[in-house]
Each structure stands twice: as structure tokens, then as C-alpha cells.
Amino acid sequence: FTIECLMKLIALNLKYFTIPWNVFDFIIVTASILEQTLGEIMTQFVVNPTLLRVFRVARVGRILRLVKGAKGIRTLLFSLTVSMPALFNIGLLLFLIMFIYSIFGMSFFGYVRKSAGITDLFNFETFPNSMVVLFQMC
């Protein structure tokens, strides 16, 4: 990626920074180089590793570069983003159903004695416990 970035910089000069994908590539390559450099420095000196973790996030950006060239991945990601509102509604409906059944479970099974299958964690005595039991039953 670094060689590609350098070749484009030499060929396009300042026009390189007018294309948004090139700016994105430049930021990713620069962050990766900084990460490698700081990693080497940190092995020699005792430095807080939180700074290095910030630069490791830049590795995720490399995956986004692949989206630029692969039409199938772009189509897949577009479909995923378009379907997110519907998936959110379905998740909300599932939560509502679990909420209702959790309240029913608390009212019907809240005072059942603890035995082999009903423990301190897995019971219908409290709302959070009943939600956990229902989630495990799903």
C-alpha cells in the first residue's frame, strides 16, 4: 500500500489530494507507518501502550480499501445498510416479546422453589434474571 501511495504521489503531485479515495489511502498508510514506528520505539522504551492501540484501529481502514475495487462487496454492504432499519425493527419486536414473556414468567414462576434447574442466577424472581432465562431458552 505504501508503494502504491508513493507512486501515485509522484505521478499526480498535488492532484493526488483532490480524490477522496487517495486522501483516505494516504491517511491509512500514514497511520500504519506511525504504528510500526511507534511499535519499534515502544519495544526499546517503556511507554503507555494505549497510544499504539489507537493506531491499530487504522488496520481496519485497510479493509475498506478493498471495498473500492470489489463490486460484489460494495453491493453486499449497500444491501446491509439499506436493511438496517428493518433489522432494528425486528430486534425491537423480539425484545418486546421477550419483555412480555419475562413479565408473565415473573408472575407465574417467580415463587417456584429452587432446585436442580432453577438456581440463584437462572430463575424468574427478578426481571433481569427472567430475561436471561428467556434469552437462553431462545
Supply the DSSP string of 6-62, one letter for each residue: HHHHHHHGGGGGGSHHHHHHHHHHHHHHHHHHHHHHHHHS---THHHHHHHTHHHHH
Closest CA to 22 of 58, 63, 65, 75: 65
Does a structural domain hold residue 78? no
Distance CA 93, CA 1 (A): 45
Q: Do 13 and 58 sit in the same domain of this protein?
A: yes
- Domain coverage including residue 115: 87-138
Q: Is 107 contained in some domain?
A: yes
Instruction: Indicate if 65 and 91 belong to the same structural domain.
Output: no
If asked whether residues 63 and 108 sit together in one domain, one would say: no
The pLDDT tens digits along the chain (138 residues) read 788 888 888 888 888 888 888 888 888 888 878 777 877 776 676 666 666 666 666 666 666 666 666 777 778 878 888 999 999 999 999 999 999 999 999 999 888 888 877 888 888 899 999 998 898 887
Question: Under a CB-based contact definition with an 8 Å cutoff, are residues 122 and 133 in contact?
Answer: yes
Q: Considering its fold, how many domains does the chain have in total?
A: 2
Q: What is the structure's pLDDT at 130?
A: 92
Q: Does one domain contain both 103 and 57?
A: no
Same domain, 92 and 123: yes
The position carrying cell 508503494 is 3
Q: Verify that 46 and 14 share a domain, yes or no.
A: yes
**96 and 60 belong to one structural domain:** no
Residue 41 sits in a domain whose CATH number is 1.20.120.350
